[in-house]
Amino acid sequence: MGDVDFSSSQRWELYRVLAEPLRLRLLALAAEEELSIGELAEVLGESQPNVSRHATALRQAGLLADRREGTRTLVRLAPGASGDAVVADALASGRALCDKDGSLLRVAKVLRDREAAAHEFFSRPGKGKVEGPPAEMGAYLAAIAPLLPRRSLALDAGTGDGRLLEVLAPVFDRVVGVDRSEAQLALARERIAARGFDNVTLVQGELESKELRKALGTAGADVVFASRVLHHAPVPGKVVGQLASLCAAGGALVVLDYARHDDESMREQADAWLGFEPAELRRFARTAGLEEVRVTKIPSPLCGDGPDRHLPWQVMVAKKGH
């Protein structure tokens, strides 16, 4: 959907649509964050059918844009809508109503609820024996390492049980792995000990934590890796911005994640999003100030034998300017 263009013949319809207070509140919330109809119903304290009906009226008036994400419908303010004086006034009125009834504050709770499933899922104790790549893989990677121009420091964001450390530790002089789950880090420590990696530092915490910044140093990482992390994030674009801030000047961000798919069963694996379109990843990167953004499809035979092996995988690589 392009920018909204309200012709004079549409003005009366615009005033009619915006005469309903619930629609003003809905419009203001959609301008605040992209939310599903169910989430909007929770925030507004209304039934889903009622919210869907009012959202349809706003969409038909060109004020809301929606998109399907599996079985969910997510809505946001239509691009360019706020540039119209009447719509801008309606947004201000809607925000005032939401401030008064606490709706805006409930948006933060909805975002926390998106993340709660991932928190619980990754806090479960690790099960089973730690498995790794072929025994000689480390030697192959160490042989390739001198070909890389910048390999002083790598960050594995959301390291989990440390699978990616098997690749990074033989290549980079130093590797930092960060994860908020102690249960996952316990498996990563076991992996590090089993492989004899003495160049890996593990940090428990968030991407914004002081402990992580201290481990990386003031310059940041030459390469920041985020492997199958983004689809768990409540606000993916924000996470890409955080990851970009951890890159050193001239460094790179590498995001490995799923392309858009329709497998709703993955929500049982704490997936908040059913993958991303390449254009979405590029938009996230450019909003974060990154350059030379490339998105590449990963061949399915390379996607392992896990529960997500049937999904389409892709990798985004972007550079941070000097």
For the stretch 178-224, pLDDT in tens is 999 999 999 999 999 999 999 999 999 999 999 999 999 999 999 99
For the stretch 23-52, pLDDT in tens is: 999 999 999 999 999 999 999 999 999 999
pLDDT at 190: 96
Number of Cβ atoms within 10 Å of the Cβ of 105: 11
CA distance to 274, 303, 304, 313, per residue, from 300 (Å): 17, 5, 8, 7
Same domain for 98 and 189 = no
**Higher model confidence: residue 133 or residue 281?**
281
Spatial neighbors of 172 by CB under 8 A, at least 6 apart, are 145, 151, 152, 153, 154, 199, 222, 223
Give the pLDDT of residue 222: 97
Confidence check: pLDDT of 2 > 70: no
Q: What's the gap between Cα 21 and its chain centre?
A: 32
Give the pLDDT band (50/70/90) at residue 135.
confident
User: Tens digit of pLDDT for each residue in 48-87?
Assistant: 999 999 999 999 999 999 999 999 999 999 998 988 899 9
Task: Looking at the structure, tell me whether residues 206 and 67 fall in a common domain.
Answer: no
226 vs 134 pLDDT, higher one? 226
Tell me whether residue 179 is in a domain.
yes
Residue 302 belongs to domain spanning: 137-320
Is 193 found in the same domain as 109? no
Is 272 part of any domain?
yes
Note the pLDDT of residue 106: 93
pLDDT at 322 over 50: yes
Distance CA 154, CA 228 (A): 17
Same domain? 295 vs 155: yes
Residues 141, 107, single domain; the answer is no
CA distance 146 to 109: 47
Q: What CATH number did the domain enclosing 82 receive?
A: 1.10.10.10
Structure confidence at residue 1 as a pLDDT band (50, 70, 90): very low
Structural domain total, the chain: 2
pLDDT of residue 6: 59
My answer on whether 111 and 227 are in the same domain is no
